[in-house]
Structure 1
């Protein structure tokens, strides 16, 4: 009996045989469930699951939904195929596998036979592809340069099993499918030679290569860059930029995001029958983006721009450059610019509560924030408008806001925008001149300045307060935010992938310290998020206590 099948071998031992089980002119279907090989029993079935650090299923032949359903219990599927070449074969196969991987929330390793198998009417071209829940993790620039070669090609890719499991767990509808699949699959446990790193599950396609493999007697040899050795430099790197700011910076995605923000605000204004907004501006990144969103919103609604009330409220730490930028920005957008100094009001407040103004503590800083918020809300009442919030997603995650001050508004257009994305959007405005009313040099000045709440006066060296010197780099915080919120990765895993991704940019100490700050502040600040303001969710992760990250305040 001749079978079209795959053999699963680990450490020189045959663990199982997976047949294609489609009867053809040449091949039969498997009837036996086991057979004896080298004096031990070997299972033979198309429903075998090989379990070690992850559950591996084997698919022989073209992948489809029916085959996926029989292997739904697997976290990783190895798909061995012999598909002859046809026009658009590469694109069609990649797109189909990506779709199947995303639909089933599984990792897929795909390998098609190479030209050595060509015969009669069929010519085969090799294709190697690896997917992680729909995302192609083998080199995305790998096209067909080696597909038409008789050489054997070996490539390395990395699959994060923790992420695969997290995604599968989040898809509650699939849990029932997985439970059904458990009873159908025969589980074969084995020891996989693997590199353990702080109990982190990392699976590389190199693990598929048995140490007993010997290609030396074959005519086809692996090329130099395709060594079987595990080379981390060649493996998939975690996105240093998970929110894809590199794309936003140079594409119309930036305008799409601003438009979505503007549409959310427009709906709120139409619903409450208001044509006025009040926004506090500081000359910083977040208030600049929020003001641009208001400008876009009023374009959509056809409201007069002077109904956008941009309020600048200088106090003890406000720099002259911030004042210049805020005014120039408001004038460029032809909105209603209002300057209300709050130094006297805050000083009086200190007297009212018997606080020494020389003690520059939390009372000193938060009193300014609450004074500003009171002015914004009262001015909104005066104009029959609403207060537009400017706090970004990164600040919300870290609780980097004053409770009942910049923490709230009537509608926060930036609540779904991480700080790194806000910067990327402003960079797009420079690059594309998306708003011709604004000089790119003005936005460049905003981006060049250190991120600061400017609540404290400048020091003796005229250095202003720096947020990132206090809490760490926003680039790291946004990285932690995405992977912690998307996949609930452990602290150890977050630390590992951050070291792996930022090894050439930040020291290990800086990464560790920033992660400690992130995790502490993130979980400590849920009580602020529990009563946060409405605003548009932009990315797959959201901190909204209603539709995004739901967590009791005191956990």
Structure 2
């Protein structure tokens, strides 16, 4: 599969209870639609050939014969079809009736999976008709015109082109029991679980179902395709809604809302590579798999090769995924969820610092306050940590250290912010100290090179460290995760502190966290604090190490030098969280960003711009590891972190050659 994606769908066809001919026709129509949309795995509801609510008609020979005849018709009609279909039907075997899933591919019945758990409580009365299948072994049966068909629950269907794609099935109630067959399937290699279901609807059941399916996919690190019976089922005693869900590793990627009439198919491109990488990363999954490995499983092979995303470069960029690729993967799209997440992260940051303050019995802290986003967030979090520890905020010393690049705007914002948070403000102009140092080392003050810039950054850190010693305090680091990834920090300058509260906060998230504080200030009628935070949010990101322009405005804009942070954060997330290759990340970035404006600029993302900064990202990420190898302590608060003591252990002299080569080929 190109880029590790498998296009999957759940179907809710029109249905007439016990009318197998009508139902078969509707199933075939959907299969044809799926073929046209390059769907490779298609799941229908439980007993979709007959309808789930046939009752005692399941004991009628005619219905059972007609159901089997429908399976044969579906096979005959799909000989030229490349869709792997799971269709529900009743099947008699050895004097017992089983509720089954028929897997059909290219005109063949390749497997029959019986239901393991038969509900017989509340409104369910399935044991009146069906038998639970309790064996772990796989039998080979003759059924109708089909011979030697694998029958059992321990069956995996594997793509012969990609061993990571392994499909297994369970039926409705199977997922509701404490130890579901799908858990055993996943531990034996299944990455995709099909559930043919006929779950009725009662008040609030949809919410529970959504949570159940999502969590099942999360704990089994798999894709879960839940196809549910629709409103055409009999309403004699129950109501059915067609509520269907596709989830992957805890996230719902496609959903058919209860009683939705407009759509018969929900489609999602499942990232199988992501699931496989996540299993490798979560080593306890492999531990559990070794304990639960079963020799009873039979693996069947099919060819699910998909040319949806061809090797032609233009098609790779322009074909659209049936999947949402968030532009800002560190930041929830939903505003309400973003507020909840922001509060949680801020509390984690503050609690991490509070623990350190209590441990070293520190009663004061020192922050270099520039009037930029990072130091603003660091101060606001520190103030919260002091509140947690019962320490007065006046014991926070904010030191503003104007030099050659400081603008009036950032200087005034720093002063106002310190005042409005209740911290002490101290101003130390470092121009003379830096010029003296330049004279000592023979640096031309008119040569605005790396020495000119870093000399200022290291002077500031020297002052912060010594002032913290003088006041028996702790220096709070302000640098964020994005700067660490790019090495956009001065070694032994702003790179160094005694505790880095922002070390696992990417730049795109920093902005939203400061926005959260601004909203909180407004809610508390702290208008002055709100206004200064709003202006800081509106200020271009800059280290302010180069003199301002003729109008006194910031001349050194970080994102013009290293690239848009929203783009680098996108790269960073997919590199660290899932270990994707440069070509796949480029493909995803094109899916998410092409034609959109870069945040806060007039730049429109093109393939050339994305490629340029992707190459730059890899070059900087590898070359700057030495700074991360000795970074200060700072608590992890998200899923991605670069601490050498935790999530990221990389040699400082590793080569970027193979990554850069692939990035240049994009």
Which TM bucket (shorter chain)? 0.7 to 0.9
Once the two structures are TM-superposed, the CA of residue 176 in structure 1 deviates from its matched residue by 3.3
Please say which of residues 372-381 and 434-443 is displaced more in the overlay.
434-443
- Where does the alignment leave 5 or more consecutive residues of structure 1 unmatched? 201-229
Could you tell me which residue of structure 2 aligns to residue 45 of structure 1?
Answer: 152
Could you tell me which residue of structure 1 aligns to residue 609 of structure 2?
Answer: 510
2:329 aligned to 239, 242, 252, which one? 242
Tell me if 1:548 matches 2:647: yes
Once the two structures are TM-superposed, the CA of residue 520 in structure 1 deviates from its matched residue by 2.0
Change in 2 beyond 3 A, CA 1:198/1:303: farther
User: Conserved in 2, the CA contact under 8 Å of 1:248 and 1:428?
Assistant: no
User: Conserved in 1, the CA contact under 8 Å of 2:368 and 2:464?
Assistant: yes
The Cα offsets for residues 211-260 of structure 1, whole Å up to 9 and x where unpaired, read as xxxxxxxxxxxxxxxxxxx9947x22122222225547962543332232
Q: TM-score, normalised by structure 1?
A: 0.87
The Cα offsets for residues 101-127 of structure 1, whole Å up to 9 and x where unpaired, read as 111111100012223342753443322
Change in 2 beyond 3 A, CA 1:550/1:406: same
Give SS of 1:156's match: strand
Please say which of residues 70-79 and 453-462 is displaced more in the overlay.
453-462
Could you tell me which residue of structure 1 aligns to residue 401 of structure 2?
Answer: 313
2:181 aligned to 67, 71, 89, which one? 67
Tell me if 1:466 matches 2:561: no
Once the two structures are TM-superposed, the CA of residue 11 in structure 1 deviates from its matched residue by 2.6
User: Conserved in 2, the CA contact under 8 Å of 1:245 and 1:421?
Assistant: no
Taking the aligned partners of 2:99 and 2:346, their CA distance within structure 1 comes to: 54
Could you tell me which residue of structure 2 aligns to residue 449 of structure 1?
Answer: 539
Could you tell me which residue of structure 2 aligns to residue 88 of structure 1?
Answer: 204
User: Conserved in 2, the CA contact under 8 Å of 1:56 and 1:74?
Assistant: yes
Once the two structures are TM-superposed, the CA of residue 430 in structure 1 deviates from its matched residue by 2.6
Once the two structures are TM-superposed, the CA of residue 198 in structure 1 deviates from its matched residue by 6.6
Taking the aligned partners of 1:125 and 1:475, their CA distance within structure 2 comes to: 40
Give SS of 1:4's match: strand
Change in 2 beyond 3 A, CA 1:518/1:528: same
Once the two structures are TM-superposed, the CA of residue 7 in structure 1 deviates from its matched residue by 1.5
How many residue pairs were aligned? 520
Could you tell me which residue of structure 2 aligns to residue 288 of structure 1?
Answer: 376
Could you tell me which residue of structure 1 aligns to residue 566 of structure 2?
Answer: 475
2:283 aligned to 162, 172, 175, which one? 172
Give SS of 1:266's match: helix
Could you tell me which residue of structure 2 aligns to residue 410 of structure 1?
Answer: 498
Change in 2 beyond 3 A, CA 1:248/1:517: farther
Could you tell me which residue of structure 2 aligns to residue 145 of structure 1?
Answer: 259
Could you tell me which residue of structure 2 aligns to residue 125 of structure 1?
Answer: 241
User: Conserved in 1, the CA contact under 8 Å of 2:242 and 2:259?
Assistant: no
Change in 2 beyond 3 A, CA 1:83/1:262: closer
1:331 aligned to 416, 419, 426, which one? 419
Change in 2 beyond 3 A, CA 1:198/1:351: farther
Q: TM-score, normalised by structure 2?
A: 0.73
Once the two structures are TM-superposed, the CA of residue 138 in structure 1 deviates from its matched residue by 0.8
Please say which of residues 31-40 and 320-329 is displaced more in the overlay.
31-40
Change in 2 beyond 3 A, CA 1:158/1:21: same
Please say which of residues 169-178 and 379-388 is displaced more in the overlay.
169-178
Taking the aligned partners of 2:208 and 2:384, their CA distance within structure 1 comes to: 40
Taking the aligned partners of 1:473 and 1:112, their CA distance within structure 2 comes to: 44
Change in 2 beyond 3 A, CA 1:198/1:328: farther
The Cα offsets for residues 346-400 of structure 1, whole Å up to 9 and x where unpaired, read as 1111121122222221111111111110010011111111111100111111111
Q: Give the superposed CA RMSD.
A: 2.6
Superposed, 1:212-291 pairs within 5 Å as 232=320, 235-246=322-333, 247=335, 251-291=339-379
Give SS of 1:387's match: strand
1:113 aligned to 229, 244, 249, which one? 229
- Where does the alignment leave 5 or more consecutive residues of structure 2 unmatched? 1-92, 119-126, 313-317, 597-604, 655-666
Once the two structures are TM-superposed, the CA of residue 44 in structure 1 deviates from its matched residue by 2.1
1:20 aligned to 110, 115, 120, which one? 115
The Cα offsets for residues 394-422 of structure 1, whole Å up to 9 and x where unpaired, read as 11111110111111101111112111111
User: Conserved in 1, the CA contact under 8 Å of 2:109 and 2:146?
Assistant: no
Once the two structures are TM-superposed, the CA of residue 196 in structure 1 deviates from its matched residue by 5.2
